Amino acid sequence: MATATATANAARWGSANVLAISPYVGGKPISEVARELGLAPETIVKLASNENPLGMSPLAREALLASLAEDSRYPDNDAWELRQALAAHVGAEPECMVLGEGSSDILDMAARAMLGPGSSCVYSEYGFLVYPLSVQKSGAAHIRVPARDFGHDLKAMAAAVRDDTRLIYVANPNNPTGTLATHAEIASFLDAVPERVAVVLDEAYVEYLTPQMRTDSIALLRRHPNLIVSRTFSKAYGLAGLRTGYMIAHEPVTAAVQATMLPFTVNRLAQAAAIASLAAEAELLERVELTVKERTRVREALTADGWTVPPTEANFVWLRLGERTSAFAAACAEVGIAVRPFGTEGARVSIGDPEANDALLAVAHAFPHRSAR
């Protein structure tokens, strides 16, 4: 159907809150970037999606290949084996686990379970883009709280709760800026939030934190029946293409969320790779250490070159660019580097391998007026 006709008739086929959505735009695949720039795919450096340049564990790859023998069978809809492995890994009961297609699915299921017309949701100005999308789909009202130092202003977020508020999203570490709230700050925040309001603590990047830096979210979960912890295998575990995330929450919450799920959400290959990944803890720590080392090097090089780069505890850095965001993304694209621009606010740059990071630093060094941040 012609685009003009489709646009003219759009209101016939969607609710008002859905038609108001600006769809999520993910980092483009390398093949698409190569086509747009007229470059060979092997020359493209993708630093736009916070992917793990080291890929999945060899153990996970072996498990994935072995599971292909039954690829004509539906997966375990209950993901029993994976939930058992996760429960042992985090120190919670299997009944407290809900699986989804990456943490984005978990975040969206929480909105589907908790929100609807007549309710509201609180999230930060600098927060994961899935939050407002999920709120918009639900028909709930948005309460977007201004950031503080590029991160969550938790006191302001608690104060923003209204009588109709049913859900709050908190990313820790935060995406896209990498900022971190301490355990004490998260605990104080939860104490200030009414128990009738569910709080999603989005810990997609938790593996990049040392144990001393992490929020003891499982201990907090035992104290707060309204807390939902969301995690993923997409980042540190390198399973982004298999889309596996999970929720940890009290059983009344998981029951409500599971009611929103479609059947066979997490496929057989993903379940097998995730279970094997949990068994490769020593290897995970080594890979995280390499990423953190490169992250430190990149941030120090950028700050020495005159850039303002907030401290980051994830696998990316945030460049505050303002109106020059598009120009910087274009400068990167000219040499085959894909970064993630955010309107007129800045760009998020993933940490890649040393060669990719060196290429990014060369562009940043050549970009004009970098000291005026």
- Give pLDDT < 70 ranges for the chain: 1-30, 32-34, 37, 39-41, 369-373
Q: Return the structure tokens found at 287.
A: 């890979």
Instruction: Kindly give, in sequence order, each residue whose CB lies less than 8 Å from that of residue 168, ignoring residues fewer than 6 positions away.
Output: 121, 122, 123, 157, 161, 193, 197, 198, 199, 200
Residue 33's pLDDT is 67
Residue 76's pLDDT is 86
Q: H-helix or E-strand containing 141?
A: strand 141-145
Residue 34's pLDDT is 64
d(CA 66, CA 85): 18
Where are the chain's structural domains? 24-50+282-366, 58-278
What is the maximum alpha-carbon separation in the chain? Answer: 58
Q: Is residue 270 exposed (0-12), middle (13-18) or buried (19+ Cβ within 10 Å)?
A: buried
Q: Return the structure tokens found at 326.
A: 């598009």
> What phi, psi does 336 have (nearest 5°)?
85, 20
User: Which CATH number does the domain 24-50+282-366 belong to among 1.10.940.10, 3.90.1150.10, 1.10.1060.10, 3.40.50.2300?
Assistant: 3.90.1150.10
Task: Measure the CA angle with vertex 127, ends 100 and 154; round to 5°.
Answer: 110
Q: Is this prediction's pTM over 0.75? A: yes
Q: Return the structure tokens found at 5.
A: 């006709």
Q: Return the structure tokens found at 345.
A: 């606010």
Residue 371's pLDDT is 45
Give the CB-side neighbour count of residue 128, counting CA atoms within 13 A.
27
Q: H-helix or E-strand containing 200?
A: strand 198-202
Give the chain's end-to-end CA distance (angstroms, integer).
47
Q: Is residue 73 exposed (0-12), middle (13-18) or buried (19+ Cβ within 10 Å)?
A: exposed
Q: Class assignment of domain 58-278?
A: alpha beta
- 182, 198 in Cβ contact below 8 A? no
CA distances from 18 to 23, 54, 237, 255 (A): 10, 37, 33, 26
> What phi, psi does 45 have (nearest 5°)?
-110, 110
